[in-house]
Amino acid sequence: MPPLVQLENVRKVYYGRAVLNDLSLEIPEGEVFGYIGPNGAGKTTTLKILAGLVTKFEGSVRVGGNDVARDRDKAHGLIGFMPQSCGFQSWRTVQSALDSLGELSGVPAELRAKRIPALLERFRLLDARHKKVKDLSGGMTQKLGLIQALLHEPKLLVLDEPLEGLDPPSRNLLKEIIRERQQAGTTVLFSSHILSDVEDVADRVGILNNGKIATSGSIRALVTDFGLPLEIGLELSVAPGNLGYLDELGTVTQHRPDEWRIRLVDGTPSDPVVHAVIEKTLAAGGKIRKVGLVEPNLDDLFAQYIERAHAN
Ligand SMILES: Nc1ncnc2c1ncn2[C@@H]1O[C@H](COP(=O)(O)OP(=O)(O)OP(=O)(O)O)[C@@H](O)[C@H]1O
Ligand SMILES: [Mg+2]
């Protein structure tokens, strides 16, 4: 089966500057793909090209085998798109905005009558259905954008920073919905800067930098490939007056007010260092709350990646 999403050598230039340069990416059907990269990297531009909102570009972009430039309607019909900032007709009510967008996406009236209240209920927006769109809060508008993308139950969900601006319960709800949709066979491509959430739902992530996917894979595989340096975390309930003794064990950074990280020199086995940290901390009069090897996460991976990209 060909991948549902296929971008080949995509190049997009704004005012003489290439934002995307020879970008290639494939997403198989049923996958949840997290698209990350620094501000201005070109994530929104990529997603808009997929959604048919940016039409001038070089290269080939296909969704379900349909070229987004040549078979625009076919490709478009497979996609539910949530833009980074959603422009609704602000004078409409929530209910009527969703109804007209659903109609535009080809959802029959009887299905709209079922799905709209069900989704509003799920996002705790049912009470706001008669409010004007212009009177909604930022998070509520964000939810409206999500609902409109979900309404026609598309094969491919393209979500541009869907978690931004949502409160923690709503973020959890959205992650739950993404997992549910994946179970039902939907493919999801979403961008986000909330890396712990990306880690929670994405099967694979791609880091966009300098106009290309710099690296992609499962988070586990990236952490391993990347050879992230090992770190020992030390949380203290009472810190000794002087923590200088830690410097002999590795590079020390303060991570939180009561937590320090000791980055081991490449190849150093961690157990003896953990022991030394405990012994020396107790000898110096400190009280330990927690100590141990830190599992690298996507935040660490991304920070490392950007650090290395700048160094080169
Ligand atoms: N319509 C436009 N005209 C000119 N330049 C643009 C336009 N849209 C985007 N750009 C430029 O393209 C680059 C990529 O922007 P884009 O919005 O795709 O980044 P992003 O990765 O989504 O960033 P963020 O994380 O901040 O959302 C930026 O330098 C931006 O200024
Ligand atoms: Mg963006």
Q: Would you put residue 217 in left (φ > 0), alpha (ψ -120 to 50) or beta?
A: left
Does residue 312's CB lie within 6 angstroms of at least one atom of ligand 1? no
Is the pLDDT score of 226 beyond 80? no
Please write the tens of the pLDDT for every residue from 171-217: 999 999 999 999 999 999 999 998 888 989 999 999 998 898 878 88
* Pocket mutation for ligand 1, best pick of 13, 19, 39 (most atoms within 8 Å of C-beta): 19
pLDDT value at residue 291: 96
Phi, psi torsion values for 214, nearest 5 degrees: -75, -35
Looking at residue 145, its pLDDT comes to: 93
pLDDT tens, position by position, 100-143: 999 988 899 999 999 999 999 999 999 999 999 999 999 999 99
Residue whose CA is closest, atom 9 of ligand 1?
45
Three-class secondary structure of residue 136 per DSSP: coil
Strand partners, 277: none
CATH topology of domain 229-295: Alpha-Beta Plaits (3.30.70)
- The minimum-distance atom of ligand 1 relative to the CA of 47 is 18
Q: Residue 129 in contact with residue 106, Cβ under 8 Å?
A: no
Mean pLDDT across 292-301: 83
Which has more confidence, 116 or 306?
116
- Compute the distance between CA of residue 183 and CA of residue 187 in angstroms, rounded to an integer: 10
Assign a CATH topology to domain 5-224. Answer: Rossmann fold (3.40.50)
C-alpha of residue 200 to centroid of ligand 1, in Å: 26
Whole-structure pTM value: 0.85
- Does 19 sit in the ligand 1 pocket, CB within 6 Å? yes
Give the C-alpha distances (Å, rounded to integers) separating 58 from 20, 100, 185: 10, 33, 30
Q: Is 45 in the pocket of ligand 1 (CB under 6 A)?
A: yes
Ligand 1 atom 17 nearest Cα:
44
Q: What is the mean pLDDT of the chain?
A: 91
Please, is 93 exposed, middle or buried when counting C-beta atoms within 10 Å of its C-beta (0-12, 13-18, 19+)? middle
Expressed in angstroms and rounded, the spacing between residue 62 Cα and the centre of ligand 1 is 22
Q: Are strands 17-27 and 5-14 parallel, antiparallel or unpaired?
A: antiparallel
How far apart are the CA of 61 and the centre of ligand 2, in A? 19
Ion ligand 2 residues within 5 Å by Cβ: 43-44, 84
Which residue, 155, 161, 156, is CA-closest to 141?
A: 161
Measured from the alpha carbon of residue 36, the closest ligand is: 1
Residue 144, pLDDT score: 93
Q: What are the extents of the domains in the chain? A: 5-224, 229-295
User: Is the per-residue pLDDT at 58 higher than 80?
Assistant: yes
270: pLDDT strictly greater than 90: no
Phi, psi of 206 (to 5 degrees): -130, 135
pLDDT score recorded for residue 88: 75
Q: Select from 14, 159, 190 the residue to mutate for testing ligand 1; criterion: most ligand atoms less than 8 Å from CB.
A: 14
> Is residue 296's pLDDT more than 80?
no
